[in-house]
Amino acid sequence: MAKKSKTQKAKASAARAQKRADQEVKAQEELELAAKAQEAREKEALEEKPAKKKLFKKEEAKPEPVTKAVPVKQPEKKAVKKEEKKPEKKKRRFGFFSDVRSEIRRVTWPTRQDVLRWSMVVVGALIFFGVFTAILDTLFPRLLLIVSGLGAS
């Protein structure tokens, strides 16, 4: 199995983080829907129509309907890291070379087989266009003279 480059690892890590964020958003939406449904049930329980009063009999006190309160889980809030201002670094004399080295480490280098294959493609293209140019260079002036009629005299 081929070793993953740093770029591929970073992309995979970003994809996992995005997936987690999407799941958290979905969970938050489900919690909000559950909370709205609970509020709707409580509102319906309070709005039940009272029984009609009878004129001469005492009204019996009806107990209020008991609704079970569903605990609503609040999503965990992640601590927001405060960005600290870093003091400006002094100019490095040979910082360029360390930067070059770090960039070269990030490069995904081609395999030996890929280099050989594409080198052959380039050499083949050079040969083809060299021959094509040589043919045009020798034939075109002669063809031009024939068509123009200047070489007939």
- Judged against a pLDDT cut of 80, whether residue 153 lies above it is answered with no
pLDDT tens sequence across 66-120: 566 556 666 666 655 666 666 566 667 778 888 999 999 999 989 999 999 999 9
Residue 69 pLDDT: 59
Residue 145 pLDDT: 83
What band does 39 get if pLDDT is binned at 50, 70 and 90?
A: confident
Q: Which of 125, 119, 112, 24 is nearest to 75 (CA)?
A: 24
Average of per-residue pLDDT values in the chain: 80
- Helices 95-106 and 6-46: crossing angle in degrees, nearest 10, is 70
What band does 149 get if pLDDT is binned at 50, 70 and 90?
A: confident
Which residue pairs from 59-67 have beta carbons closer than 8 angstroms and sit at least 24 positions apart in sequence?
A: 67/41, 67/42
Residue 86 pLDDT: 63
What band does 146 get if pLDDT is binned at 50, 70 and 90?
A: confident
* Residues found in the chain: 153
pLDDT tens sequence across 8-20: 888 888 999 999 9
Kindly state the DSSP code that residue 146 receives in the 8-state scheme: H
pTM: 0.33
